[in-house]
Structure 1
Amino acid sequence: MPISNHHSEFQTAHSLRALGDFYYRDAQPTAVANAQWIAFNQDLANQLNIPASEQDTDEGLAIWSGNQTPEWAKPAALAYAGHQFANLVPQLGDGRALLLAEVVDHHGKHWDVQLKGAGRTPFSRGGDGRSAIGPVLREYLLSEAMHALGIPTTRALAAVASGEMVFRDEGVPGAVFTRVASSHLRVGSFQYALLHGGNEKVKTLADYTIKRHFPHIAKSTNAGNPYLAFLQHVAERQAELVNNWLRVGFIHGVMNTDNTSICGETIDYGPAAFMDVYNPAKVFSSIDRRGRYAFNKQPEIAKWNLARLAETLLPLLTADESSDATADQKEAAIALATRVLDEYSEYSEQLWLANMGAKLGIQHATKSDKPLMQAFLALLQHQNVDFTQAFWQLANELNCTQIATTGPQSPASTLFTNPMEYTEWRQRWLERLIENDNNAEQVQASMRKVNPAIIPRNHRVAEAIKAAEEDGDLTRFHELLEAWQEPYKMPMSALQVELYQAPKESEEVTRTFCGT
C-alpha cells in the first residue's frame, strides 16, 4: 500500500482510493463558527505518531474541528447500504462523517481517522451533517470505556465544540468528533457493492479487505478459497465481540448491517447502553419497539448480519465467479456459507460458556455447567439484581473474613431480597469450585479480571451530557472519562465508590436515542 510520509514519524495512506470513487465520494468539511476543545486523547495521538503541532494546539483545533484540512488529508464520505431493523436501504453512506486518511502507527497498522459532525456530505439526504454535543460526549465516553474494558472498539481521538447550535427537537450546542477505527468497512459496504456494482465490485472490495485486514489468509490452509476464509474470520470476530458485550452487560442498540464492522470492532454508540438490573430482554433504542436488538438477541442478530454478508460473497465461494454459475455451483456456495454460519453458532455457544464460566470462577466450563449459570441469571432477573454488582460481589464471597455490609466490598447476598434462594445456589456454586482444586484467592483474582466493578452507567453519562448542554460544564465528563479507565480495580476513592452504585429507581435511564 502506498505510504506518503509528510512528517518524520507521521505516516498516512489512502489505500481505498485506489479502488475508485465507486466506494466513496469526495467531500470537504464545513467550517464551524467558534471551535473550542472538549477533549483530546493524548495517548492515542502518540500511538498514531500525530505531530505535536497537530495535537491539542491551535493548529490541532483547526484540524479536528474541520476548519482546516491538513495537506495529508483527502476527505471522503464512504458509500454503503444497510438493513435497518431488517429493512434494506440500498444507499445510506456517510451522511455526517468524513474519512480524512489512514494513519500508520508504529507497529505498521493502518487506522482510519474520521471526522463526525463536520457538515453535509453527498450522502446527507436532507440532514445537516452536524452533530449535537450529547452524542459526541456519549461516544467519547463509551468508546474509551469499552477500550479500557479490553473489548474491540473504535476509539475517540478528539472532541471539539463548534460554537454553533444544531436543531433537533430544539436547539442544542453542536460538536465535532474524531473517530479512529481499524477500518470503517461494514457489512453494508459489501451490500452496497453488490446492489450497485454487482459481483465484480464485491470481488474488488473483498480482495482489498483481505489484503488490508486479513493478510494471513494467503498463507493459511484456506488460501485456495480466500473468500470462504474471509467469511470465517469475520464470523469469528463477530462471535468474540458480541460475547464480550454479553460478558459486561452491554447493549449495542442498533445492530443494523451498516453498524456491523468487518474488523469486529464495536462501532456506532447511538442508543448504546450498559444494563443495570439484569433483564435479558432489555432494549435501549427508542425505536426498537419489538425488541429486535435486545440484550440476549445480540448473538442471533450478529448471525443474521453475517448471513447478509455471506449472500454478497456467494458467487466468489465457488470456482466460477461469473454471474451465470450453474445451479450446482450455487448450491455448493450456499452449503459452504451455511457451514460457516453453523460454525459461528457453535463457536458463539462455546464462548458464552467460557465467558460465563470465567465470570463465575469456573475453569474449563462445559455444557454441564449451564444449568448452574442459568440458575444464577434467573435469580438476578427474578429478584431485580444489578448485573455488574452481582458478579463483582460474588467474588467477595471468597474472602475468609467479610466485614462490609454495603458497597463494593460486601458479599453478594446483600443484593438479594430473598437471600434463601441465593444461599441455596451459592452452595451449589462453591461445590463446583472445589472440583477445580484452586484456592479461593486464585479464583477470586481470576474473577476480578473479567468482571468489571465500574461500567459507564447510563444515568452517569446522562449527567455529564446535561451539565455540558445546559451549563457548558465539562467537569463531570472529564471525571467520568478518567474514572472509567480502570474498570477491574477495587473501587476505593469516594468517586469510584459512587460510580460503583447502581442507579436509584428515580435515576434510571431506560431509553437512549441515536442523536443524529
Structure 2
Amino acid sequence: MSPAPYRPSTAHADLGPGFFDAVEAARFPQAILRYRNQRWAEAVGLGHLDDAQWIGHFGRFEPLPDTLREPLALRYHGHQFRSYNPDIGDGRGFLFAQLVDGEGRLLDLGTKGSGRTPYSRFGDGRLTLKGGVREVLATALLEAFGVYTSKSFSLIETGEALERNDEPSPTRSSVLVRLSHSHIRFGTFQRLLAENDQARITRLVAHCVRHYHPQAARGGDIAKEAPALLEAAARASGAMVAEWMAAGFVHGVLNTDNCVITGESFDYGPWRFLPRYDPNFTAAYFDQTGLYAFGRQPGAIAWNLERFAECLTLVAPVAELETALKTYAPAFHAGLRRAVCARLGVTEGGEDADDELAAAFFQFLLKSQAAFERTVFDWHGGASRRDFALAGPQSSLYQGEAFERLFGALSAHAPRERAPAAAAYFDGEGPATLLIEEVEGLWAAIAEKDDWSLFAAKLDHIERARKAFDIRPERGPDGAGA
C-alpha cells in the first residue's frame, strides 16, 4: 500500500439537516496512545503525524484540516434481535472526519467511546479498554483473512474508571477511532421510513449512489437508482458474509444498525472465531436463541436486506426491489467459492470445482472436528502440502472418507502463486488465531500488570499472516475492495 496525499471531504455534512446532530467530544483525564495503525494512516495521508499530533486529533478530537468542522452523531433506527427500536443512534460515537484514499474511496473516521450524545439514553458514552483491545484484534485478523472490514485506526486509553455489569468493575477506559467505508446503515434508511420522509430517502439514495455505488447511477431516476443501490448493497453484503464463513468468524450482533450499504464488516462487540466447525456456535452470551449463530449469519443478513428494501418502497416499485434482492444468494455463493479458494491458497477452478471444494472443506471440518484455522494453515497451497500436514499436530485427522473428499477437491485446484512472505508464515510457528482463551490471556496481562507485550506479539503474528495470505477482497465495478 503506497502512501497517499491527504484528501479531506465533508460529503456527509452536505446531506444537510435531519441526518445528524453536531456534538462535542468528551474531555478525558488522560490520553495514552496504545495503538496506531500506521499502514492505514499512510493510505489516507496521515502517516506524517507524530504521536503528540495523533493524540491531539484522536484523543482530544482537534479537527483535521478542511474536513468536518465539528463531530456529527448520526441518526438511525434499527431492528435489534428483530425487535424494532426507534430510540437509537450514535450513542457513544460520532463521525469525526472524512477522507479520500489513494483508490478514490470516500472513507470515514468514526469513534467509539467518545462521550455522550443525544442518543446515549442511560449509557455513559464510554468504551472499556478491553472492548477497544478486542476490536483492534478482531479487525486485524479479519483483514488478514481477507474479510472486507473496517480498520481500527487508533486506540487511546483515557484514564477513567468505568462501571459495567458484564465484566469486573471498575475497569479501564478508552476511545477508539475506526476507519470505515461509510457509516450509512440500513437503519439510517429505516428511520426515514418510520418518519415517512420520502424527500430525505431520495436525497440519501442519490448520496449513496454518488459516493459508494456509482455503478447504480441511472441518470438521477430515483425509481431506478433505488433498486440498483439495493442490488449493489446485496451483492456486497453477500460477499461479506461469505468471507466471514471462510474465516470461521461469528459477528455476534447482526442488527440492522450494524449493517452498512457498502457491505463492510464493522462494529465488533461479542465476536468470536470458531475453535472448530459448529453451525450453532454463538458469540453473544445474550443470544439465547442462537439467532446470530455462525450457520445462521447468511440468513440474518438476508433478513436485514429485506428491511432495507422496505425503506425503498417509498421511492421505487416493489417488483424491482424484489428482483434486486434475488442477487444476494448468488453473490453469497460466488463469494464463498472465491473466499474458500483464497483461504486455502489455490486458484479458482470453475464454479463446479469450487463448489465441491467449499462443500468438502466444511464437511471435513464438521465430521473431523479438526481445528478450523489449523486446517487452513496445514492445507494452504492445496494437495502439495500433504507431507507438511501429515507431519503436524492434526495428522491423525487427515484420513477417512471426509478427508479423502477434501483431498480430492484440493487436488483439482492448482496452488495460487505465493506471496514472498508466505513461506516464512506457512512453514513457521503455526496459524494466527484469536480464540477466546487467547484474548482473555493477553487482556489479563494488560489488566493485571499493564503488560502489553502479548498484545504486541499477537498483532505481529497477525501482520505476518496478512502478508502471507495476501487476500484482497473483491467487490463490484465501483472498485470497493479493501
TM norm. shorter chain > 0.5? yes
Deviation at 1:337, TM superposition (A): 1.9
Aligned-pair distance for 1:63? 2.3
1:478 partner letter: A
- Aligned residue for 1:85? 81
Pick which of 77-86 and 65-74 moved more.
Answer: 65-74
Q: Find the counterpart in structure 2 of residue 203 from structure 1.
A: 202
Tell whether 2:402 aligns with 1:425. yes
CA-to-aligned-CA distance 1:448-500 (integer Å, 9 cap, x gap): 89x99323333222222222222222211111112101226779xxxxxxxxx
CA distance in 2, matches of 1:487, 1:427: 27
Following the alignment from structure 1 to structure 2, what is the Cα–Cα distance between the partners of residues 60 and 488? 25
Partner residue of 1:66 out of 60, 64, 71: 60
Contact kept? 2:144, 2:467, Cα under 8 Å: no
Q: Structure 2 residue aligned with 1:98, among 94, 97, 107?
A: 94
Q: Deviations over 1:264-310 (max 9, x none)?
A: 11111111121111111111111111111011111111110100000
2:17 matches 1:21? yes
Within the candidate set 366, 373, 377, 1:381 is matched to: 366
State whether residues 144 and 466 of structure 2, in contact with CA within 8 Å, keep that contact through their aligned partners in structure 1.
no
TM-aligned CA deviation for residue 13 of structure 1: 2.2
Cα distance, 1:221–1:43 mapped onto 2, change above 3 Å: same
Distance in 2 between residues matched to 1:350 and 1:173, nearest whole Å: 43
**Residue type matched to 1:12 in 2?**
P
> What is the CA–CA distance in structure 1 between the aligned matches of 2:29 and 2:185, rounded to whole Å?
33
3-state SS in 1 of match to 2:12? helix
The SS at the match of 2:197 is helix
Distance 1:315 1:223, change over 3 A: closer
Give the distance between the partners of 1:273 and 1:400, measured in 2 at CA.
28
Match of 2:383 in 1: 398
Per the alignment, residue 444 of structure 2 pairs with 466
Instruction: Describe the shift of the 1:222–1:444 C-alpha distance in structure 2 as closer, same or farther (beyond 3 A).
Output: farther
1:341 aligns with 2:325: yes
Structure 1 residues 427, 61: CA separation in 2 closer, same or farther (over 3 Å shift)?
A: closer
SS in 1 for 2:98: strand
Decide which of 403, 413, 422 is 2:395's aligned counterpart.
413
Q: Could you say if the C-alpha distance between residues 315 and 65 of structure 1 is closer, same or farther in structure 2, counting changes exceeding 3 Å?
A: same
TM-score normalised according to structure 2 size: 0.85
Separation in structure 2 between the aligned mates of residue 94 and residue 79 of structure 1, nearest angstrom = 7
- The worse-fitting range, judged by mean Cα deviation, of 192-201 and 476-485 is 192-201
Distance 1:147 1:56, change over 3 A: farther
Could you tell me how far 1:395 is from its partner in structure 2? 4.7
What does residue range 428-443 of structure 1 map to in structure 2 within 5 Å?
428-432=405-409, 438=414, 442=415
Counterpart Cα distance in 1 of 2:46 and 2:436: 32
How many Å separate the matches in 2 of 1:34 and 1:101?
22
CA RMSD, Structure 1 to Structure 2 (Å): 3.1
Q: Mark the CA change 1:335 to 1:151 in structure 2 (over 3 Å): closer, same or farther.
A: same
Q: How does 1:178-257 map to 2 (within 5 A)?
A: 178-218=177-217, 225-257=224-256
The answer on 1:352 being equivalent to 2:344 is no
Change (3 A) 1:296 1:211: same
The 5 A counterparts of 1:116-195 are: 116-169=112-165, 170-195=169-194
Deviation at 1:243, TM superposition (A): 0.3
Change (3 A) 1:356 1:161: closer
The answer to whether the 8 Å contact 1:222/1:228 transfers is no
* Residues 466 and 260 of structure 1: CA distance in aligned 2, closer, same or farther (over 3 Å): same
1:478 counterpart residue number: 456
Larger Rg: 1
- Pairwise CA distance, 1:236: 0.3
* Change over 3 Å in CA distance of 1:121–1:221 after alignment to 2: closer
For this pair of structures, how many residues does the alignment match? Answer: 453
Q: Which whole-Å CA distance do the structure 2 matches of 1:362 and 1:49 have between them?
A: 34
Q: Shift of the alpha carbon at 1:160?
A: 0.6
Q: What is the distance in 1 between the residues matched to 2:449 and 2:295?
A: 38
**Deviation, structure 1 residue 263:** 0.9
2:291 maps to what in 1? 292
The structural deviation recorded for 1:363 is 4.2
In the alignment, the residues of structure 2 paired with residue 403 and residue 356 of structure 1 have an alpha-carbon distance, to the nearest angstrom, of 20
8 Å contact kept, 1:66–1:115? no
Shift of 1:56: 3.8
Asked whether the equivalents of residues 133 and 469 of structure 1 are also in contact (C-alpha less than 8 Å), the reply is: no
How much has 1:148 moved relative to structure 2?
A: 2.6
CA distance in 1, matches of 2:207, 2:350: 39
- Which structure 1 segments of 5+ residues have no match? 1-7, 318-332, 492-516
> Bigger CA drift: 72-81 or 364-373?
364-373
Pairwise CA distance, 1:47 = 1.5
Consecutive unaligned residues in structure 2, runs of 5 or more: 470-482
User: Aligned partners of 2:285, 2:314: CA distance in 1, in Å?
Assistant: 38
Matched, 1:42 2:38: yes
Q: How far apart are the structure 2 equivalents of 1:346 and 1:376?
A: 20
Q: Could you say what secondary structure the match of 1:230 adopts?
A: helix
Calculate the TM-score normalised by the size of structure 1: 0.79
Contact 1:81-1:90 at 8 Å conserved across structures: yes
Distance 1:179 1:168 in 2: 23
- Checking the alignment, whether the CA contact within 8 Å between 1:96 and 1:129 is kept in structure 2 is yes
Distance 1:162 1:312, change over 3 A: same
Residue aligning to 1:504: none
What is the rounded CA distance, in whole Å, between the counterparts of 1:390 and 1:158 in structure 2? 32
- Whether the 8 Å CA contact 1:456–1:484 is kept in 2: the answer is no
How many Å apart are 1:374 and its aligned residue?
Answer: 4.1
3-state DSSP class of the match of 1:238?
helix
Alignment partner, residue 476 of structure 2: none
Asked whether 1:312 is paired with 2:311, we answer: yes
Could you tell me how far apart the structure 1 residues matched to 2:464 and 2:118 are?
Answer: 41
